[in-house]
């Protein structure tokens, strides 16, 4: 999963781009729910939030390093929660 650092300027452009609705406005800045972020695997070739962020403040979450297979399984779980 990716994460948003405190360099976020709350510009709001990433939130509507996320195919998993993983991005929301937190208490101070935008945040990513790591349980919903597939790094866009299953939807796009590149993380859409990273593509649009004007200040490049969306790195990989060091607490949630995931390989492509686990991201793909997360995508499948989110697509079909049953």
Provide, rounded to whole angstroms, the least separation between the CB of residue 56 and ligand SF4: 8
Q: Cβ closer to ligand SF4: 12 or 68? A: 12
| The token pair that represents 53 in the structure block | 């962020």
Taking CB under 6 A as the criterion, the residue among 45, 49, 60, 82 binding ligand SF4 is 49
- Binding of ligand SF4 by 40 (CB under 6 A): yes
Q: Which of 78, 69, 72 is nearest to 33 (CA)?
A: 78
CA atoms lying within 13 Å on the CB side of residue 68: 7
Rounded distance between C-alpha atoms, residue 81 and residue 61, angstroms:
24
Q: Cβ closer to ligand SF4: 37 or 82? A: 37
Instruction: Calculate Rg over the CA atoms of the chain.
Output: 12
| The token pair that represents 56 in the structure block | 């490049």
In the complex, which residues of this chain contact ligand SF4 (CB under 6 A)?
A: 2, 4, 8-14, 17-18, 20, 22-23, 30, 32, 37-40, 47-49, 52-53, 55, 57-58
């Amino acid at each position: 999963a990716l994460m948003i650092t405190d360099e976020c300027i709350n510009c709001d452009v990433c939130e509507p781009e996320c195919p998993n609705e993983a991005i929301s406005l937190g208490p101070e800045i935008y945040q990513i729910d790591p349980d919903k972020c597939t790094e866009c695997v299953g939807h796009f070739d590149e993380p859409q939030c990273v593509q649009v962020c004007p200040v490049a403040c969306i790195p990989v979450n060091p607490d949630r390093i995931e390989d492509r297979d686990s991201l793909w399984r997360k995508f499948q779980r989110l697509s079909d929660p049953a």
